[in-house]
Amino acid sequence: MLEKNQTYKVEIIDNGYQGEGIAKIDGVPVFVQGAIKGEKVEIKILKVLSNFSYGKIISIIEESAYRTKTDCNEYLKCGGCNLRHIKYEYTLKIKKAMVENCLYKALDREVKVNNVIGMENPLHYRNKLQYPVGLDKNNKPVMGVYSQRSHDIVPVNNCYIQNEECNKIANDIFEFIKQNNISVYNEKTLKGTVRHIIIRIGVRTGEILVTIVVNDNKLSKEQELVKYLIEKHPNIKSIVENYNSKNTNVILGDRNKVIYGNGHIYDVLGDYKFKISPLSFYQVNPIQTEILYNTGIKFSTSNELNNAKKDTVALDLYCGIGTIGIFAAKNFKKVYGIEIVEQAIEDAKENAKINNLNNTEFYAGDVEKILPEILNKIENKPEVVFVDPPRKGLDNKTIEVLKELTPKRIIYISCNPATLARDLGLLEEKYDIQEIQPVDMFPYTSHVECCVLLYLKFWCNSPIWCFNTL
Q: How far apart are the first and last CA of the chain?
A: 57
Work out whether strand 334-339 and strand 360-364 pair parallel, antiparallel, or are unpaired.
Answer: parallel
Query: Which H/E stretch holds residue 419?
Result: helix 417-427
Q: Please report, to the nearest 10 degrees, the dihedral formed by the alpha carbons of residues 386, 390, 392, 394 taken in order.
A: -20
At residue 463's C-alpha, the angle toward residues 462 and 465, to 5°, is 65
Alpha carbons 25 and 32: distance in angstroms, whole number: 12
Catalytic residue list contains 415: yes
**Cα three-residue angle 399-405-411, rounded to 5 degrees:** 60
5 sits in which H/E element:
none
Q: Is residue 384 within 8 Å of residue 454, measured between CB atoms?
A: no
| HSE toward the beta carbon, residue 110, CA cutoff 13 A | 4
- The catalytically annotated residue of 72, 166, 319, 415 is 415
CB-side neighbour CA atoms (13 Å) of 79: 11
In one letter, which amino acid is 219? L
What's the rounded Cα separation, in Å, for the pair 134 and 194? 8
- 283 closest CA partner among 410, 398, 419, 388: 388
**Close Cβ partners of 453 (under 8 Å, ≥ 6 residues apart):** 299, 409, 410, 411, 433, 434, 435, 436
- The residues carrying an active-site annotation are 415
